[in-house]
Each structure stands twice: as C-alpha cells, then as structure tokens.
Amino acid sequence: MRNQAMPKHLYIETVGCQMNMLDSELVVAELRRRGYELVDRPAAADAILFNTCSVREHAEEKIYSALGRLKHLKRRHPEKIIGVLGCMAQNHQRQVFERAPYVDLVVGPGQLHQVPELIERIHAGAGQQMEVSLDRKAGGREAVAESFESYDPLRTPEMRPSPYQAYVRIQIGCDKFCTYCIVPKVRGPEQARPPQHIVAEARQLVSEGCREVILLGQTVNSYRFVAGERTTRLSDLLAQLSEIDGLDRLKFVTNYPRDMTDDLIQAVRDLPKCARYLHVPAQSGSDDVLKRMKRGYTIGDYREMHARIRQMIPDATVTSDFIVGFCGETEEEFQLSVDLVRECRFKNSFIFKYSERPGTKGAELYPDDVPEDVKRRRNNELLAVQNAICEEDLQLRLGRTFDVLVEGWSKSAQKHGHHGPSGQLTGRTMWDHIVVFEGNERLIGQIVPITIYDASAHTLFGTVVTNEVGPEVYSLSASWPTTPQQADCNVAGIPARSTGV
C-alpha cells in the first residue's frame, strides 16, 4: 500500500470536445483532493490518464499510438497506472485491454466519478479494472440512462480554460442518432440536468471569480427539464442565469438546427449577458446527403432558421460544422455545401472528412465510398471558401472598439515569454472573435474596451482604449451599425474548442 501522505503525480491528456475538457477537469479536481499533483510528462507520473474521443477514427488511433509509446515505461515501472477514460473506453471496452494489455483502467464517460476508487483498487492489487455504461440496446431507456451518470461534483478553478471562464454541463447524451455519429452510443440517452443544480453551480463558479459560463450539451438547445407542470427550456435557463450578479457572459454550444426556436433567439437578443454567437452545425448543403445523414431537416429548413437569426439579431455571428465525403456524396452535392457557406457567410466552419464509425447506422447502411484524396480536396476547397469569408468579414471590424474579456497571455507570449508585467494578451468579444493586444497582466480577467487596427484570417489585433472619452464601444448596449451587406456578414475566429463534437 502507498503512503497516503506522499504527493502522487498525475499526467492527463485530453482529446475531443469541450465536454471532454470538462470531464478531465472534474477527474483532476477529484484526484487533487486525494493528494495528486499534475505533472507534464508521463515519465514523472504515478497515474497516466487519457480522456479520449471516438468521433473520428483518427482520434482513437492517436490514443493507441500514445499507449504504444508507454509500453516500455510500463515494463520498467509496472507500478505506474495507465488509464483510458471517456468515449473510446465506452466504445471499445475490453478491446482496449486486448490492444494494449498493460492498460490498467478503462472507464466510460458515465463512470468517471469512480476513477479515484478504481485507482485505489488497482494499487491494492485488484488487477485491471473496467467500468462502462450499459449498451443502448441492453435494457429499457430508464436503465440505460441511469447507467450514464452525469458527473458534476464541486469544482476547482485550476483546470478551467481560464479562471474567468467555466464550462457547465446542462445536458448529457444525445437522441438524434445522425447516421455518421458515434455520440449517442458512447454518451448515452439525452438527459437534462435540473435547472436548480445548474444555477447553483454557476453561482459557486462566480463566487470563485468566474465571469463567463459556457453551457454544454451535444444538442444544447434541445434542453428541456420537466418537473410536474413546469418545463424549463434553454431560454428560461439563460434568463435565470442572467440574474446572477457578477456573471457577465453566457454562451452555449452545440445547437441543433431544428431546435433553434424563436424563444431562444429572442433570449439571446434580449439578455445583455448572452453572447451574440451561435454555433449551429449544418453538416451538408445537400438535401439528399442530409437525408442519408438522418439530420432531420432540409436545407430549406436550415435557411429559414438562419434567416430568423439574421432577422432577429442582425449582428449575430453564426458558425457551422460540415462533413465532406459522406457516403455517396457526389461533386454536385459537395458544391451545395460550398454554396451554403457562401450564402450564410459563417463566422467560421469546422470541416471534417467523413470517418466511418463501426456501430453507427451509416456504417451499416452505406459504403464509405468517397476516396480519401477526394475527401481531402473537398475539405481544402471548402476551407478555402470559408477562410476567404473569414478574412473579408474580419476586415469590417477594423477601426471599431469592442468590449473584450481578457483570458490571459496570447499564444505567442506563452511561447516566447513576456518581459515584466506587460505583454501580448488575448481575449474575446461578445461575438466570439479572438482579439490580441498589448497590455498589463492586471487586465487578465477584466472586460476591457479594445480598438481594432488589424486582422489576420482568424484574429483581430487591437489596442487598449485609454482615453476617458473614447470611441463608441460595441458592447451589447450600443447598437450595431449594420449596412445591409454587414448585416449579412459574420466574422472569422476560432471558438474555444478542439477537435470533436
């Protein structure tokens, strides 16, 4: 048995979406409470954890490669514990042990609260441990849903995107079953968290200094919590969260086009704390492809939704996801995605090459018949169209002043260092544009007016407004000077998200 008083060391790697980032944050918080300290190399760690993603094959293969690189370390130090957590653990289950027999721990996203206990068991000599949820077909909906437990214990500030921002889960799972997508299998049935828990968690985060909360759900705008006669929708939740003093900004991702109802768009328009930014993946511009994807809407529906956003919030920025090279996608069908990007002028699009996922309807029904080089070419072509739009639209922001929530040192300042308390800082506007500027570190965590003087494809560059009677600031109280052309425009910028759903 280990000496409990000795600090233990934890290395964790996270891939995938914000939901995974949050899950890792929670696992780390729990392990810290039990005396673990984070280290930045597997060789220095007693426990090496991978929080994994299954959305594309590539993400899974990268984890197996990383595990492969640990084989010798584990041979030399069998006492080190290697764990695979999250979506790939749920997806592959015992297969993980078969491909990497030196892995000690496999834990699905619905069992993450058990990680500390399972590590203790392994230390005590109990051998390999696996905890996963029920398969979606293994029982009734209730039983399956119960086996995917929402994991939202008390939080610690250390692992957040920045101390001033936090992810808050409002929903787990997904019931949409798009034919290409593994998420409903590995994250289980859609379940809404009670609004009072969400509000309590947000209050706690604000009491710790958090100013921006990003609500998470696979289809976050499908959120509905029913208690007796009372139904709470996302728009109601946003109104409740807006009441919290000290909470300045609210965002939510990811939206499902069909559930983008008027009450939600109105809430975003009318609640001054809501960011004017909506991520609503279209996935394809072709009705036939959307049908094969079983997305549940037509491009006509998507256009209508997009027009409603534009009409109600002319300055909103909208971002999308696209899959290129989905089964049977013809050149004409692909061109319809290009047309949609041109028409909607998304602020940004995340573009993915289709990756067949065993266990999905897509894999069962349709051959993955678009050659890899065609997928790559379509990916590049769509990206080029989107990037040109990003660049054009960022130029429209030059000379304007925006309120920016300062998140910390810019990537360049982190890499090359900064001298003294001043250096290059980064933050975001209410339209989710990244802004980089020179400033003092005491601005970190503040909302600061910044005047934009330059733009690259995805970043705005600005200077802090220092004079008291400065230019008009585009905070939400100021009206946005839209020309018809500008009203149609979105601007580029990469939202806080890595690869994944």
Residues that bind ligand SF4 (CB under 6 A): 174, 176-178, 181, 183-184, 218-219, 256, 501
For ligand 5AD, the closer CB: 281 or 462? 281
Alpha carbon dihedral 72, 83, 163, 202, in 10-degree steps, equals 180
Select from ligand 5AD, ligand SF4, none the partner in contact with residue 321, using the beta carbon and a kind-dependent cut-off of 5 to 8 Å.
ligand 5AD
C-alpha distances out from residue 409 to 222, 304, 406, 412, 420, Å: 35, 40, 9, 8, 12
User: Which residue type sits at 114?
Assistant: Q
What burial letters (b/e) apply to 301-320, b meaning 16+ CB within 10 Å? bbeebbeebbeebbbbbbbb
d(CA 316, CA 134): 40
Select from ligand 5AD, ligand SF4, none the partner in contact with residue 409, using the beta carbon and a kind-dependent cut-off of 5 to 8 Å.
none
d(CA 317, CA 275): 9
Select from ligand SF4, ligand 5AD, none the partner in contact with residue 323, using the beta carbon and a kind-dependent cut-off of 5 to 8 Å.
ligand 5AD
| The three-state (H, E, C) secondary structure of 72-100, written as one string | HHHHHCCCCEEEEEEHHHHHHCHHHHHHC
Instruction: Work out which of 222, 232, 255, 283 binds ligand 5AD, going by CB under 6 A.
Output: 283
Quick check: 87 binds ligand 5AD (CB under 6 A)? no
Quick check: 354 binds ligand 5AD (CB under 6 A)? yes
Instruction: Work out which of 357, 375, 397, 433 binds ligand 5AD, going by CB under 6 A.
Output: 357
For ligand 5AD, the closer CB: 181 or 452? 181
Q: Which residues contact 494 (CB under 8 A, 6 or more apart)?
A: 348, 434, 458
For ligand 5AD, the closer CB: 146 or 175? 175
Q: Which of 226, 244, 141 is nearest to 184 (CA)?
A: 141
- Contact set for ligand 5AD, span 373-402 (CB under 6 A): none
3-state helix, strand, coil in the chain (%, to 5): 40, 25, 40
Count of residues in the chain: 501
Binding string to ligand 5AD for residues 156 to 195, with x set by CB under 6 A, is what? ------------------------xx--------------
Q: Where are the beta strands (DSSP E) in 15-77?
A: 36-38, 47-52
Select from ligand SF4, ligand 5AD, none the partner in contact with residue 366, using the beta carbon and a kind-dependent cut-off of 5 to 8 Å.
none
For ligand 5AD, the closer CB: 222 or 283? 283
Interface size with ligand 5AD, residues (CB under 6 A): 14
Q: Which residues contact 94 (CB under 8 A, 6 or more apart)?
A: 106, 130
Instruction: Work out which of 352, 437, 461, 474 binds ligand 5AD, going by CB under 6 A.
Output: 352
For ligand SF4, the closer CB: 118 or 318? 318
Least distance in Å: CB of 218 to ligand SF4?
4
Footprint of ligand 5AD (CB under 6 A): 55-56, 180-181, 281, 283, 321, 323, 352, 354-355, 357, 500-501
